[in-house]
Amino acid sequence: MGIRVCKFGGSSVADADQLRKVRAIIEARADRCFVVPSAPGKRYSADEKVTDLLYRADSATRSPDPKGLAFDQIFDLIAERYRKIVSDLGLAYDLDPALADVHAKIRGGAGPDYAASRGEYLCGLIVARLLDRPFVDPADMIVFDAKGRFLPEETQTRVADRLGREKSGVVPGFYGAQADGSIKTFSRGGSDMTGSIVARGVGAELYENWTDVSGLLMTDPRIVERPRTIPSITYRELRELSYMGATVLHEEAIFPVRIAGIPVQILNTNAPEDPGTRITAAGHDAVPAGRVTGIAGRKDFTIIALEKTLMNAEIGYGRRLLSVLERHGLSWEHMPSGIDTLSIILKSDAVDGKLDQLLADIREACQPDSIDVEKGIALVATVGRGMSHQPGTAARLFGALAGAGINIRMIDQGSSELNIIVGVENADFERTVRAIYAAFASAPRN
């Protein structure tokens, strides 16, 4: 029988009741061998995630807490959450020595990555007890370089070696370590990465990603009420959607499993019988032409639009523009172009404070006839492998936006024809997502 790796998100480990569901899920199948827990998330909407409390505790060692608590008071909130979980589960387990060690290290200035990682670490200790499985610390296997960049191949070798010696285990999510032993975390939501890394390392047959929704939905449920579930999706489509804002899976978590061809199943801890979403290389079935898989987006981009007569004939024009960006240490999101126009789309927070200098440098290097800047742009991606070579899809999309009176500031269709991205004003973001969803949600089902 193949091995399954099961990652549980913050809401799935938020309290003892949720952890009992985790235990039932793991015990339901003998092949659910490796478990990757996140840190306890919110129990109710006004609650604070343990990870957020840990970041707060760490910064309170250096500067006053925005909510006015002292370091020890914040740490007590964290410690109490864990103690309550242990006692509500009825575990005969004294977590206090581990809590005292974490307290001393954060207070001693171990830094934000160490502090944040302890959410998963402490949760992992409890889950290992609860399931009676060995605790395996990812600090010994998941490797980052001195600049904090994740090293996938060295990690793969170490994970395969270390977990190859275990039949089952609990590996806390979200962190690894640098060569000097200092703890390093992935970006927020990074426990999904750990699950994917562990799945690749043990050669899993399936990576189960357990969360609080019954799979990937066609769009963000906070924008559209009860969107349809996507039964099957390809790695490439998911990469587009998660990069563009479908936060259900960390935007880089697809890479380790994709290399190994391991399918991912997104499942709901609160409704474990629901089928969820299957993510594979090819997708489950043939997709009807014109079918849209999902819609996702993000706010706060800046468009810099250049116009110059005969730009198209000028050799090296794009290179000069890109070299200015490189000098400013900026990566760009999109670069739609016309015959004599070229636009570059950047995340607004990346250019904040350096826009004037950037524009001056672009003027000098590229000598455009005009240069326009639009801030406060939201990008919305409509993604689907069924969209390739389907002119009707674009017509339907733009028709829907025109019908809703939405002004489109930018259009970019990737050469893969896997997606169409529109730029609209931030204020129109939600309306745009709803209009596109309404235009495509009634398309034929799989």
Contacting positions for ligand ADP (CB under 6 A): 9-12, 38, 41, 189, 211-213, 216-217, 219-222, 246-248
Radius of gyration over every alpha carbon of the chain, rounded to an integer in angstroms: 24
Could you tell me if 272 and 25 are in contact, meaning their C-beta atoms sit under 8 angstroms apart? yes
CA nearest 97: which of 112, 82, 87?
82
* Residue closer to ligand ASP (CB basis): 38 or 219: 38
Q: Is 245 in the site for Mg ion (CB under 5 A)?
A: no
Amino acid symbol at 98: A
Give the C-alpha separation, 204 to 196, whole Å.
10
Q: Please give the C-alpha separations between residue 34 and each of 26, 165, 358, in angstroms, as whole numbers.
A: 9, 12, 48
* Residue closer to ligand ADP (CB basis): 143 or 233: 233
Give the C-alpha separation, 84 to 15, whole Å.
8
Give the C-alpha separation, 333 to 345, whole Å.
6
Q: Which residue has its beta carbon closest to Mg ion?
A: 189
Q: How many residues bind ligand ASP (CB under 6 A)?
A: 13
Q: Which of 189, 227, 256, 386 binds ligand ASP (CB under 6 A)?
A: 189
* Residue closer to ligand ADP (CB basis): 51 or 343: 51
* Residue closer to ligand ADP (CB basis): 15 or 212: 212
* Residue closer to Mg ion (CB basis): 9 or 294: 9
Token pair of 113 as six digits: 């990555």
Which residues inside 41-70 make contact with ligand ASP, applying CB under 6 A?
Answer: 49, 51
Contacts of 397 (CB under 8 A, 6+ apart): 382, 420, 422, 436, 439, 440
Which residues inside 6-25 make contact with Mg ion, applying CB under 5 A?
Answer: 9
Task: Give the one entry of ligand ADP, ligand ASP, Mg ion, none that residue 213 binds, where binding means its C-beta sits below a cut-off of 5 to 8 angstroms depending on kind.
Answer: ligand ADP
Binding string, 143-182, against ligand ASP, x = CB under 6 A? ------------------------------xx--------
CA nearest 257: which of 271, 268, 270, 242?
242
Task: Give the one entry of ligand ADP, Mg ion, ligand ASP, none that residue 190 binds, where binding means its C-beta sits below a cut-off of 5 to 8 angstroms depending on kind.
Answer: ligand ASP
Task: Give the one entry of Mg ion, ligand ADP, ligand ASP, none that residue 222 binds, where binding means its C-beta sits below a cut-off of 5 to 8 angstroms depending on kind.
Answer: ligand ADP
Stretch that binds ligand ASP, among 187-195, 226-234, 264-272, 374-382 (CB under 6 A): 187-195
* Residue closer to ligand ADP (CB basis): 11 or 302: 11
Could you tell me if 18 and 12 are in contact, meaning their C-beta atoms sit under 8 angstroms apart? yes
Could you tell me if 236 and 288 are in contact, meaning their C-beta atoms sit under 8 angstroms apart? no
Q: Which of 14, 33, 36, 39 binds ligand ASP (CB under 6 A)?
A: 39
Q: Is 201 in the site for Mg ion (CB under 5 A)?
A: no
Q: Which of 18, 168, 191, 382 binds ligand ASP (CB under 6 A)?
A: 191
* Residue closer to ligand ASP (CB basis): 186 or 235: 186
Q: Is 189 in the site for Mg ion (CB under 5 A)?
A: yes
Contacts of 210 (CB under 8 A, 6+ apart): 6, 7, 8, 9, 12, 22, 25, 267, 268, 269
* Residue closer to ligand ASP (CB basis): 119 or 276: 119
CA angle (222 as vertex; 393, 210 as ends), nearest 5: 95
**Minimum distance between the CB of residue 211 and Mg ion, rounded to whole angstroms?**
7
169-170 sheet: strands from edge to edge: 169-170, 32-37, 4-8, 206-211, 264-268, 277-280, 232-234
Q: Is 184 in the site for ligand ASP (CB under 6 A)?
A: no
Give the C-alpha separation, 296 to 302, whole Å.
18
SS3 label, residue 4: strand
* Residue closer to ligand ASP (CB basis): 232 or 269: 269
Q: What are the residues binding ligand ASP (CB under 6 A)?
A: 10, 38-39, 49, 51, 119, 173-174, 188-192
Q: What are the residues binding Mg ion (CB under 5 A)?
A: 9, 189
